[in-house]
Amino acid sequence: MIEHTDLSKPIYKRLKEMIRNGELKQGEKLVQEKIAERLGVSRTPLMKALLALENEYLVESKPRRGMYLRVLDRKEIIDIYVCREAIEGMAARVLATKKNMSHVSQLKACFNPFTSDTDIDVDAYAKADETFHSLLIKLTDNTPLDKIYFFNDIHDRVVGHGLVRAPKDTLKEHFDIIEAIAIGDADKAEALTRLHINKSKELLINQHKIKTSE
């Protein structure tokens, strides 16, 4: 049961969590009665939360059919990667100017467990990758940047394609980014981060892994 003065806010957050962890999937119809019952809330604050998600292009209303979790089209997914490239590149630059060794240690901790593995657990690596990219933003301690990134990150999660490139192709890239941050080379940190994300974007396009809306 969710309890809050303005019930729409925690419902809004919970629905985002459900999108991020795959409880709700792209294209799925959002049956308000079932969601309201599941969360233990009335339909009025639920509708307010859904309208907020619609404003963020996560939910869409289809005339006479109801509300659905949006299916992102090819252009939208590419645009998300363009945004991620700029945002995460800027975050890496900011962290490099800080040269905070505690930050560096936290970033390294994401991938240290995989340095001696000859057969990397893809699921474990995917979680480490997720943590790394989230940390790049959070460690900047820049609230506006964090909010902008969250918008792009959650749309990326909706796509649900998991790791785009294999761990063997990205592990060194991650450590190269961390090293640039550690030595305070802001230009290199930003450039490497941008390149890292751009490679995934290009692979998605070239291998046609991007789903297009009908």
Do the Cβ atoms of 157 and 202 come closer than 8 Å?
no
CATH code given to domain 8-69 = 1.10.10.10
Looking at residue 162, what is its pLDDT?
Answer: 63
Looking at residue 4, what is its pLDDT?
Answer: 45
Looking at residue 23, what is its pLDDT?
Answer: 87
Looking at residue 143, what is its pLDDT?
Answer: 86
**Pick from 155, 165, 159: nearest CA to 212:** 159
Q: With helix as H, strand as E and coil as C, how does 27-69 read?
A: CCECCHHHHHHHHCCCHHHHHHHHHHHHHCCCEEEECCCEEEE
Domain ranges within the chain, ordered by starting residue: 8-69, 74-206
**Pick from 179, 193, 201, 171: nearest CA to 93:** 193
Asked if 8-69 and 74-206 have one fold, the answer is no
Superfamily of domain 74-206: GntR ligand-binding domain-like (1.20.120.530)
Instruction: Report d(CA 10, CA 24) in Å as an integer.
Output: 17
pLDDT in tens, 57-74: 788 999 989 999 888 777
How would you write the pLDDT of the chain (214 residues) with one tens digit per residue?
A: 444 457 788 998 899 888 877 788 888 999 999 999 999 999 999 999 999 888 877 889 999 899 998 887 778 778 888 888 999 999 999 999 999 999 999 999 999 999 987 789 998 998 899 889 989 999 999 988 887 776 666 555 555 556 788 899 999 999 999 999 999 999 999 999 999 999 988 887 886 554 444 4
Looking at residue 32, what is its pLDDT?
Answer: 93
Looking at residue 197, what is its pLDDT?
Answer: 93
